[in-house]
């Protein structure tokens, strides 16, 4: 069986980063198809692979799974290490992953992912500040209760970390403040070999073609 992950431009596609990172850290072999975002033909190119018209999409010999969290859950069926072993830690990991999946809209709206960017945010809006406070508290709590065995939210890398990896890039490129424990967590995520590989991939000229004038 062979796996193909269809992703968007690495520089910008936060949802694509999540399952890509899970695949890499779990050591699951896969091929990738990268589709340039923000182009006149982007939608048509995605529809060639994904009936939802969105990326990412995982294709296993014609069997297709879409949505980042659903893909990660599917991967965890073959790589159980993608969730914590402890039943309570696993429940919390699923809860915080789901919170990321459906929440933090002000942060996502006002600080879009650009892994090559450097755009300090001044005058942080109240809604974004509230998101930052919640994320900081959530990360600090997970690290204190479940993360003593390693540098990630639940010690070892998990799907929860994959879900928050794009947030880590936003905090870095927008220079957003978090506490000491959260900053150490951000440093650990950015130091992942797979994360460095993603950022390097974003530097290639083929990843982004400017819209024709």
pLDDT tens digits, one per residue of 46-83: 999 998 999 999 999 999 999 999 999 999 999 999 99
For 122, residues 6+ apart whose C-beta sits below 8 A from its C-beta are none
DSSP, res 210 = P
Question: Phi then psi for 125, rounded to 5 degrees?
Answer: -60, 150
Query: Which part of the chain is CATH 3.40.30.10?
Result: 3-80+197-207
Q: What's the CA gap between 37 and 207, in Å, rounded?
A: 9
Q: Nearest CA to 55 among 37, 73, 41? A: 37
Q: Which residues contact 56 (CB under 8 A, 6 or more apart)?
A: 5, 6, 7, 8, 13, 15, 16, 18, 19, 20, 66, 68, 71
Banded pLDDT at 1 (limits 50, 70, 90): confident
- For the chain, the average pLDDT equals 94
The pLDDT, as a whole number, for residue 212 is 37
210 pLDDT tier (thresholds 50, 70, 90) = very low
Question: Residue 205 pLDDT more than 80?
Answer: no
Q: Looking at the structure, give the CATH architecture of the domain made up of residues 83-193.
A: Up-down Bundle (1.20)
- Distance between alpha carbon 23 and the CA centroid of its chain, in Å? 12
- Mean pLDDT within 18-37: 97
Which tokens belong to 150?
């390693």
* pLDDT, tens only, 109-158: 999 999 999 999 989 999 999 999 999 999 999 999 999 999 999 999 99
Class of domain 3-80+197-207: alpha beta
State the Cα–Cα distance between residues 208 and 169, nearest whole angstrom: 18
CA distances from residue 33 to 6, 20, 48, 155, 180 in whole angstroms, order as listed: 5, 11, 11, 31, 37
pLDDT at 208 over 80: no
């Amino acid at each position: 069986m062979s796996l193909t992950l269809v992703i968007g431009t690495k520089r910008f596609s936060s949802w694509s980063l999540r399952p890509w990172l899970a695949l890499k850290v779990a050591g699951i072999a896969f091929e990738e198809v990268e589709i340039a975002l923000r182009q006149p033909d982007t939608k048509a190119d995605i529809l060639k692979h994904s009936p939802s018209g969105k990326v990412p999409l995982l294709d296993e010999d014609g069997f297709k799974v879409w949505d980042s969290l659903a893909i990660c859950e599917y991967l965890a069926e073959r790589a159980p290490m993608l969730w914590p072993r402890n039943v309570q830690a696993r429940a919390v990991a699923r809860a915080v992953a789901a919170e990321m999946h459906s929440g933090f809209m002000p942060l996502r709206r006002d600080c879009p992912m650009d892994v090559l960017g450097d755009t300090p945010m001044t005058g942080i809006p109240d809604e974004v500040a509230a998101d930052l406070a919640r994320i900081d508290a959530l990360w600090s709590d997970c690290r204190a209760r479940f993360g003593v065995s390693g540098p990630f939210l639940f010690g070892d890398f998990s799907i929860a970390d994959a879900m928050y990896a794009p947030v880590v890039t936003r905090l870095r490129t927008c220079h957003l403040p978090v506490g000491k424990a959260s900053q150490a967590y951000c440093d650990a995520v950015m130091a992942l070999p797979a994360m460095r590989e993603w950022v390097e991939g974003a530097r290639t000229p083929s990843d982004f073609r400017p819209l024709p004038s």
